[in-house]
Structure formats: C-alpha cells, structure tokens
Structure 1
C-alpha cells in the first residue's frame, strides 16, 4: 500500500512548504474549485488528505510548495474567500519535504513505524518497574536517537547556530512528540527546553518523579552531535508530576567525568 508521508529531507531555498487545513461544504464540484484555485495560484500540491467530517462538510489537508515571496497568511485568506470554504488553518514547514513512499515507511533517513503513544509509554513503564538502572537505559536510548537525527540533518542541510533549535522543534512537532520552546546559547552550551504536550508525560499518568528521561537523552544526543561537545540534559520539571509543562536544563557535561550521571547524560563514547 502506498502511503503519503510527511518527513524531513531538506528544502529548496527558493520555495516554502506550507500546509493548509481547509474545511469546506460538500457540494457538487466544491473540492474541484479548491484544487483549481490552488493550481491557478501556482501552489504546487505535494499531497493532500481528505476526511469526511460530517455529511455536510469535509476536511482537505494539503501540503503545498509555494514561492518564497508568497505570504502564507494572505494566501490562506484568499482560500477562505472561496464560496465553498468555511474555515482555513495553515502552517509553515521550514525544513520539511513530503515523500510518497511504498512500504516500509521512511522517517528522517531510516525505516519508521507508526505506534500509539500508549504502546511506547507502556515500554517505558515496564522498564521503570522491572529493570535495574531503567533511567540510564532510557537516557542512553534517547542519546542514540538524538545523535542519529542530528547526523542526518547535518547531511542534508546547513545545520547552524541560527536553525539547529528550529529543526529539532519541527521534528518533535512533526512526529507528534511535543511542542518545543528552546533556549540554548551556542557559546556557553547552556539553556533550557520547554516541552508542551509531551506524549510521554500526557500518557504516563501521575508520577512522583519526572518521566521524560528518554527525551532528556534525545536532546543531549542531538546537541552533543551538533556542537561536537558533550552536553548534559536533565528534566527538572514534568507535567506528569502536576506541572504545567516539562522543563529540561541544558549544560556542558563535566570534562573527563566518570560519574554515572555524566556517563549516561553526556558521554556517548
């Protein structure tokens, strides 16, 4: 079965990837009016997804490639002016590209799978309940994942101090892991990452301790690979403990340290 998959694979400097979620009235020819409009406005349709919301309305989610000089907000307003359109939302993917791929799926350069968040959290809970040093195992797993992601992005685009944080944030949003707010000084390697709607914390349930160790490890791996310097990341506040959001603190890992925390959170060799 062929699947349309939104994945990250670089970008064209002269264009932008913009998605639109269009709620329209299901009248004869209404969808054709929308697609004809996009074509006449030189919006290259990369792929679209249809969802029949009700008997009277439908949803058309479409990824388009627009010229860089096109204002997405103004373009969305023009779509909204179509008689058959009820609502329009839009978003910009600075570093995204869309592939139509056969099975198996491909996500940021390697095979990917779709899984319920509950399935992944059940694995995390099983480790926490049954495995010695579960936090360390989850951190190391995250380190490897973040390292692989940074290596891939470095191979396909100019990852630099102006965009490394945005690329990571777009990745997390694109795969449904959470909404990131990243503050990180590339000179001091210090900062913090706020995670809103963390899939781990949201599904895990109430906990006395932070539960997003895997994410801390992922951040550490990504930043370590990008900076070329061992970075430590630890979660100091977690939504699962009743906080509004999850917070991870970024800092340089101790040079030449041998403690377990250093080995798990900062050193990959």
Structure 2
C-alpha cells in the first residue's frame, strides 16, 4: 500500500463519499473533499478531526465554472491530486412524474452529474499545470451493467428510476473511453460498480434482496473502500478501463 497519496473525492459528504473519506484519512492519505455544501463539509471536517490531512472545497458540479472553482482552490492550497474519485450524486434528480415517466430535465440532470461532470473534472485535473494525476475511479452501479430485477421493488418506477441505470451505463463506457484517451499521460481510469448497500432500506427489502443475490445479503459500508483503494493504488498498475463489480454476485444471475 502506498501512503501519503493525495485523493480528491467528489460527493464527499454523502454516504459513500464520507465512508471513503474516513478510510483514506485512516490510511494517512491526504483527502480533498468536494461537496456543494460548505456546511456539510464543515461537519465532515469536525467529525474526522484529521488535522492537516483533510482539505475541503465547496463547488457545485452542475455549475459551468465548477472545474475552474476546484482547480483554483487546489492551486491556492498548493495541492496536486494523484487520485480522483468521481462520486457526486443528487437524489433530487431521481424524481419521476405521477405517470411514472421521467421528466426530460431530471434525465438530463442525472446524465450531466453522472457523466459530463466526471469527464470535465477528470480532464481538468489531467491538464492542470504540474498535474500528478495517475488514477481515476468512477463510482458506478450494478444497474449500469444489468437492468434491475423489478421484483425487488414495491414501486419499481420510483424506487428504481430508469434514468439512474442509463446514466451509470454511460459512466461505465466513459471509463473505457478515458482509459484509452489518457493512457499516453499514464493516467489509469477505472470504475467500481457497487451493489445495494445497507442502511436506507427496511427489513422486508433486505430479505427480498438477499433472495436475489448469490451472497445472500446487501453490501456493508465497510466493504466500500477496498475496491476503490485497490484501483487507486500501484498494486493495480496493470488495470485500466476496467469496470469492477463489487455487488456480492448480483450481476451473475
């Protein structure tokens, strides 16, 4: 394991992002946490209390100047990340109409945050003066690889909205495109497609999920950092353009 990495994580104050942030700080890495909410970033910093190794940048990735805001802040703090984790999410974009159809605005917003924003930020860090970027990990989903099993849900249209999986599928392909296009700069680009994670579902949902998954359970939060850490590390120096399934075997059936 390489220590003293400098890793930028978008969506760092959410469920997955805060788990990754805590993990990398515990590994003695520097973490640059990006979130649209300064209040949430302050709460994250207060909780972690890792003096000197946690840096925060408030930026809305939906804004046209988001990448400039981030790179300007990095320059001011004299930070040059060698790792990037594209993890930003907005649950508000997953809403649907009473008819069960997705509004065009929500479809486009989900695509912009899941695909365009990771593309733009990856390119901005790769082209930043003095760039040290060597590894990018996009946070995907099993639903970017396989369609959902609607039997899992009581209200499939709302609980598993169609535009989520479509955007994650595009993110998986973006991973492959960027891996090819950034190879000459010795930047590896990979994706982790996670399965369902415990914590926001009721016991009945967990039981249905267990019956449909080979591992017989949902993922635990402490299982999230491992695949990301591996792909960011030199131990994965031969891996690029890969979509790693971390889904307990869900996508096998």
What TM-score comes out, normalization by structure 2 length?
0.28
What TM-score comes out, normalization by structure 1 length?
0.26
